[in-house]
């Protein structure tokens, strides 16, 4: 276990990747103060430019050091807590495989649909591009079919307990209903998602935090 510090701050928003980072911190019961932030706000820009040149959250600040990107933060917090949530040893390659595949395939497909049907409407970023939605749904069908086959023989992606690979794979699934992703067509994926939703830190990572709700998604 690495040395733990009690002054760590995790800057977040309610968007997809920050949600994952907060869920990890709360699942691990890491000693971090979760602080809602808007780095793109001109009033906050200078402060956050020094912490993350991308001006994005999540950002983990520990003393004079800052770490950005949800995967890196999850790895760091698992190390700090001496947890196998981020697998090590012989299980590490399997862990990395699913994180990598998730981001390039399953999460990518989900996010295409989520962006067009939710993000663009929420932030008034222009009309939904139906061709992109169709593309995302086609990619989702391929990725979900593979994932469904994998999960037909196991409860979790790596070993016999939940890991960060599960959290990363499920990045967009808390919004599956409003995104209109046909999760019910893949019963093993749906059952796995239900198991994840039984974990309080995943189901409601923002419980008790001072975090403004996201804007409502206008009806189409």
What domains, with CATH codes, occur in the chain?
A: 8-81 (3.40.30.10), 89-203 (1.20.1050.10)
Work out the pLDDT band at 7, boundaries 50, 70, 90.
confident
d(CA 30, CA 34): 10
The predicted structure's pLDDT at residue 185: 98
pLDDT of residue 150: 97
Helix (H) or strand (E) holding 62: strand 59-62
Average pLDDT over residues 46-50: 94
For residues 38 and 177, give the distance between their C-alpha atoms in angstroms, rounded to a whole number.
26
The pLDDT assigned to 25 comes to: 98
- Say if residues 10 and 35 touch (Cβ distance below 8 Å): yes
Note the pTM of the prediction, 2 decimals: 0.94
Q: How many CB atoms lie within 10 A of CB 150?
A: 15
Note the helical H segments in 50-129.
Answer: 70-81, 92-101, 107-114, 120-122
> Is-contact 114 180, C-beta < 8 A?
no
- Identify the band that residue 219 occupies on the pLDDT scale cut at 50, 70 and 90: confident
pLDDT, residue 218, reads 83
What does the alpha-carbon distance between residue 185 and residue 191 come to, in Å, rounded to a whole number? Answer: 11
| pLDDT for residue 88 | 96
Q: What is the mean pLDDT of residues 82-100?
A: 97
Per-residue pLDDT averaged across 92-120, rounded?
A: 97
Distance CA 185, CA 197 (A): 18
Give residue 35's pLDDT. 97
Report pLDDT for 6: 60
Q: How many other β-carbons are positioned within 10 Å of the β-carbon of residue 53? A: 9
String of DSSP letters for 197-212: HTSHHHH-TTTTS--P
What is the average pLDDT across 176-196?
97
Q: Calculate what percentage of the chain has a pLDDT beyond 70.
A: 97
Peptide bond into 58 cis (omega under 30): yes
pLDDT band at 167 (very low <50, low <70, confident <90, very high): very high
Question: How much is the pLDDT for 15?
Answer: 95
Angle of helix 107-114 relative to helix 130-151, nearest 10 degrees, comes to: 150
112-149 residue pLDDT tens? 999 999 999 999 999 999 999 999 999 999 999 999 99
Task: Say yes or no to pLDDT of 4 above 80.
Answer: no
The reported pLDDT for the residue numbered 3 is: 55
């Amino acid at each position: 276990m690495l040395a733990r510090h009690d002054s760590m701050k995790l800057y977040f928003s309610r968007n997809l990747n920050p949600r994952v980072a907060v869920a990890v911190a709360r699942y691990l019961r890491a000693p971090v103060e979760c602080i809602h932030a808007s780095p793109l706000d001109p009033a906050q820009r200078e402060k956050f430019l020094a912490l993350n040149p991308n001006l994005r959250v999540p950002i983990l600040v520990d003393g004079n050091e800052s770490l950005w990107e949800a995967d890196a933060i999850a790895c760091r917090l698992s190390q700090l807590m001496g947890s196998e949530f981020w697998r090590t040893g012989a299980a590490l390659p399997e862990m990395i495989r699913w994180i990598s595949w998730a981001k390039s395939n399953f999460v990518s497909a989900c996010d295409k649909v989520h962006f067009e049907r939710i993000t663009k409407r929420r932030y008034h970023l222009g009309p939904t591009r139906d061709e992109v939605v169709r593309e995302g749904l086609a990619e989702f069908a391929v990725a979900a079919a593979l994932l469904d086959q994998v999960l037909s023989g196991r409860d979790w992606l790596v070993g016999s307990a939940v890991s960060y690979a599960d959290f990363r794979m499920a990045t967009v699934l808390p919004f599956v209903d409003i995104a209109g992703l046909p999760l019910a067509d893949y019963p093993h994926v749906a059952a796995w998602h239900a198991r994840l939703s039984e974990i309080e830190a995943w189901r409601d990572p923002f419980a008790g935090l001072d975090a403004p709700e996201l804007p409502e998604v206008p009806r189409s």
